Amino acid sequence: MNDYRKYLSPENLSKIESLELKARLVVEGFITGLHRSPYHGFSVEFSEHRQYRPGDEIKHLDWKVFARSEKYYIKQYEEETNLRSMLIVDSSASMNYASTGNITKFEYATYLAAALTFLLINQRDSVGLALYDDKVKQFMASNSRQTYLAEIIKALAENEPSNTTATANALEEIAERIRRRGLVVIMSDFFDNIDDILRALSHFRHKNHDVIIFQILDEREIDFKFGPSAQFIDIETREEMVTQPQQIQKSYSEAMHSFIQNLKKRCRNLNIDYNLITTNLPFDKAMREFVSKRSRM
């Protein structure tokens, strides 16, 4: 594995305690993988150099120019209209599921949300955060100040999945609370009534938001490969059932496939970018989808 790839692995990141460090490593690993400037395709484009002046931020020094000339030059950037983003994370109890060897869906969502926040704020874009279960638990309006990164990281790190899911109701409320048009990124397993979810997503589109969703699932929730016998416990209701997974694997897989395809098709009918992500996948897939969406805006 290339060095940068290890920072995109959910398993490796789970061993790091600091969520802010995880976010930085994901972004740096992703950018290294692109083999291009982190400013390419975002709201700030490289313009020119100027000589370093006392008081300039060291992070803007161009070390390649220094290596050639032994003189300090600062990269200058040409600011364009900043993007306003709202990251919405499902923190209901169903997001707390993880099969053996994987992180929970909620952990995956928090790592991704933290990385996107790190990326956006360092591109001088505005970003906000909403967390919900059966109601909106926390709402942080979009802001571009550098210190906002720590505030969002803190909110993500301190939150724990709980309660039942009411994705549709929560999304309706969040749509009403976002005052200005922007990019809405929703991270959820979307285990709720699909018609209600689509009505809520339509609310965002009606208000002219661009929307990208990441349906985050554990791979076992898709293939149902649990072995010859297993006990299942509903994370939200605590209802228990013992069964032989092989007997129902085919019908379950067909039902899950139908659910995923229905959500995907109906999202695209609304011009919503749909992405299926499983918790064993490196984060660059989700990051690439986000960058692709961002570059088209």
Indicate whether 89 belongs to any domain: yes
Query: Quick one: pLDDT at residue 39?
Result: 42
Q: How far apart are CA 111 and CA 186, in angstroms?
A: 14
Q: Is 32 among the domain residues?
A: no
152 and 273 together in one domain: yes
pLDDT of residue 240: 58
Express as a percent the part of the chain with pLDDT over 70.
Answer: 75
- Assess whether 92 and 175 both reside in one domain: yes
Helices and strands in the chain: count of H runs, count of E runs: 10, 10
Least confident interval from 66-70, 103-107, 203-207: 66-70
Token pair 């109701």: residue? 169
pLDDT at residue 181, as a whole number: 93
Tokens 């509903």 locate to 234
CATH number for the domain that contains residue 171? 3.40.50.410
* pLDDT tens digits for range 212-245: 999 999 998 888 776 545 454 555 555 655 555 5
26: left (phi over 0), alpha (psi -120 to 50) or beta: alpha
21, part of any domain: no
Q: Is the pLDDT of residue 206 over 70?
A: yes
In terms of Cβ atoms closer than 10 Å to its own Cβ (0-12, 13-18, 19+), residue 146 is exposed
Of the listed ranges 48-52, 149-153, 167-171, 187-191, the least confidently predicted one is: 48-52
CB atoms within 10 A of CB 74: 19
The residue among 90, 128, 84, 34 whose CA lies nearest residue 213 is 90
- Same domain assignment for residues 114 and 251: yes
Mean pLDDT for 152-172 is 93
Residue 36's pLDDT is: 45
Domain that holds residue 222: 84-295
Co-location of 143 and 227 in the same domain: yes
| Residue 206 sits in the same domain as residue 64 | no
Claim to verify: residue 184 and residue 261 sit in the same structural domain: yes
The residue assigned the tokens 């897989």 is 253
| Residue 278, domain member (yes or no) | yes
Average pLDDT over residues 168-195: 95
